[in-house]
Homo-oligomer: A and B are copies of this chain.
Amino acid sequence: MKLTPEQEEEIAAERGASRPTRRATVPALEEILYEVMPVLDHGFVRVVDYMGDDGAIVQAARVSYGRGTRRVSEDRGLINYLMRHRHTTPFEMCEIKYHVKLPIFVARQWIRHRTANVNEYSARYSILDNEFYIPAPENLAAQASVNRQGRGDVLEGEAARHVLDLLRDDAERAYAGYAELLNEDETGAPRDPSWPGLARELARMNLSLNFYTQWYWKTDLHNLLHFLSLRADPHAQYEIRAYAEAMLDTVRRWVPLAHAAFLEYRMNAALISASGLVVVHRMLAGETVDQAASGLSPREWRELMAMLGRSE
């Protein structure tokens, strides 16, 4: 991920500023504000604004006139209680805004989360850069044979080289075609003066889904945590998970109490089905239960045993 000198200067200017405010601030998040956190080969996430802190959650839950916070231990207890009992609205009182650069196929998964505000770089108005995603060799996986959605073993040797070459060649050709369709030089003048160039809104269709786009994405903490619970999950596609993990780290800096509650009661918690619960009751009563006797399907049995730490 490379920024132009102009972009680096703009970011440095933002980071250099210090203004007085009466609002709640979070020094640990201010520390990385505006900074680029690289993700994948050319992408990034950076926090560009935020509103509220752990105290804002407490404040809203208590509908108080002032900060509403008491001792840290009481605030932690309240936040844990809210998370455990799905009282989600106080978490909506915190808001965060990211600037993200990401491949288009990742953007297409991401945008399915509707409760957020988005402004994407427009290829109707502007010209996209020649930057596309090529997986690192360790992320170049074969199709999974058991799970139709997932990845299988990592490709190696000749096969891997072939795949990478193909992806790179096709992306380069796609961009060359795009540039030819636009027919513009750096000044915006036609490269080939014999024709005017294709409209940008049409030319863009020649680009492939691994080209990078960027957007401003803003959401509240509750919806962010919901997004992260799905996208930082091992079942999520690696490429979006890489973004989710970087963002999860910004949550830790921003609202440490809510972050801890989220790990404890959501991210690392287990949802056990009604029938699975019966199996647990029987096992705790000392009974030996196997899949056949459990009433669960083989797949559900496997999932339950994994949750209970019993790989079989």
A residues contacting B by CB (< 8 A) are 3, 6-7, 9-11, 13-15, 17-25, 30, 33-34, 49-52, 56, 59-61, 63-67, 77, 84-86, 89-90, 92-93, 95, 97, 99, 103-105, 107-108, 111-112, 114-115, 117-122, 124-125, 133, 135, 140-144, 148-153, 155, 158-159, 163, 166-167, 170-171, 173-174, 177, 180-182, 194-202, 204-210, 214-216, 218, 220, 230, 235, 237, 263-265, 267-277, 280-281, 283-284, 297, 300, 307-310
Contact = CB atoms under 8 A, between A and B. Distances in A.
A309 to B, nearest CB: 5
Nearest to A283: B284
A280 B308 contact: yes
B166 A95 contact: no
A224 B181 CA distance: 34
A25 B18 contact: no
Chain A binding surface SS class = mixed
A171 B208 CA distance: 9
Nearest first, the 3 A-B pairs at minimum CB distance are: A10-B66, A268-B274, A92-B117
Q: Could you say how many copies of this chain the assembly holds? A: 4
A10 B263 contact: no
A143 B93 contact: no
Nearest to A200: B143
A22 to B, nearest CB: 5
A23 to B, nearest CB: 6
Given A21-B30, A25-B19, A196 B310 contact: no
A252 to B, nearest CB: 16
Contact of A59 (B117, B167, B216): B216
